[in-house]
C-alpha cells in the first residue's frame, strides 16, 4: 500500500528524531515527489521544509538552503506568514553559518517583520529569529545593536520559559563590551 504524503512526512520526522538521517531524507524526498505530482502545494511546502532539515542534518547546507527557499516561495503564495517566517529564518541560519552575512541579515529582518505582525503567538519564533540577528550583528561589530537584540531575545525566552535561550543570552551579553 502506498503511503500518503502525510504519512511520508510523519515517517521523515520520526526517522529524524531517531537520528536516521538517510531514512529521513528518503521519506521527505518521496513526500516532495508525491506532493508535486498531486499538486498539493501546502504539503509540498511542508515536505520541502522537512527535506531541508534532513539535508542540513547530513551536512548539505546548500541543498537545505534551496529547499527552504522553495518552501518560502510556496508559503508566500499560500499566505501562511508564520510558516514563511520559519522557512526564511532557517535559511538565514544557514547563510549565517556559511558567513554569508548580508543574505542572512536580510532574511532575519524579513522574518522579524513577519513575526512582529503575527504578535504574541509567534513569541518563540521571534526569539529564535532575534537570536540569529544578534549573532549577525555581533559578527560584524555592531555591538550596541547586538546588545539590544540579546536583551529582547532573553526577555522573550524568559516569557517562553526556554532556559537554554536565557542562559545563552546572558552568556552573550556578559561577553559584550
- What are the tens digits of pLDDT across the range 73-106? 999 999 999 999 999 999 999 999 999 999 999 9
Segment 12-22 mean pLDDT = 97
Residue with cell 504524503: 5
Angstrom distance (rounded) from CA 14 to CA 5? 14
* 3-class DSSP assignment, residue 120: helix
What pLDDT is recorded for position 1?
Answer: 64
pLDDT digits (tens, 9 = 90+) for 57-67: 999 999 999 99
Confidence (pLDDT) at 54: 97
Q: State the pLDDT at residue 64.
A: 98
* pLDDT at position 61: 97
Q: How does the average pLDDT of the chain come out, rounded?
A: 97
Instruction: Report CA torsion sign: 99, 101, 102, 107.
Output: positive
Q: What is the pLDDT of residue 13?
A: 97
Q: Which residues contact 17 (CB under 8 A, 6 or more apart)?
A: none
pTM of the model: 0.93
Q: Exposed, middle or buried by CB within 10 Å (0-12, 13-18, 19+), for 93?
A: buried
Is 126's pLDDT higher than 70?
yes
Q: Residues 42, 79: contact at Cβ < 8 Å?
A: no
Average pLDDT over every residue of 27-39: 98
Amino acid at each position: 500500500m502506498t503511503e500518503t504524503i502525510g504519512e511520508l512526512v510523519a515517517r521523515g520526522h520520526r526517522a529524524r528524531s531517531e537520528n536516521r538521517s538517510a531514512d529521513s531524507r528518503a521519506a521527505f524526498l518521496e513526500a516532495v515527489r508525491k506532493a508535486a505530482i498531486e499538486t498539493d502545494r501546502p504539503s509540498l511546502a511542508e515536505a520541502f521544509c522537512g527535506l531541508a532539515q534532513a539535508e542540513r542534518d547530513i551536512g548539505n547546507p546548500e541543498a537545505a538552503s534551496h529547499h527552504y527557499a522553495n518552501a518560502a516561495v510556496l508559503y508566500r503564495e499560500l499566505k501562511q506568514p508564520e510558516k514563511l517566517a520559519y522557512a526564511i529564518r532557517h535559511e538565514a541560519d544557514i547563510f549565517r553559518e556559511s558567513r554569508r552575512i548580508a543574505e542572512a541579515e536580510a532574511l532575519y529582518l524579513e522574518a522579524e517583520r513577519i513575526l512582529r505582525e503575527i504578535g504574541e503567538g509567534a513569541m518563540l519564533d521571534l526569539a529564535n529569529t532575534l537570536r540569529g540577528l544578534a549573532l549577525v550583528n555581533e559578527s560584524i561589530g555592531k555591538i550596541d545593536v547586538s546588545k539590544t537584540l540579546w536583551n529582547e531575545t532573553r526577555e522573550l525566552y524568559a516569557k517562553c520559559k526556554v532556559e537554554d535561550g536565557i542562559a545563552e543570552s546572558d552568556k552573550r551579553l556578559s561577553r559584550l563590551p
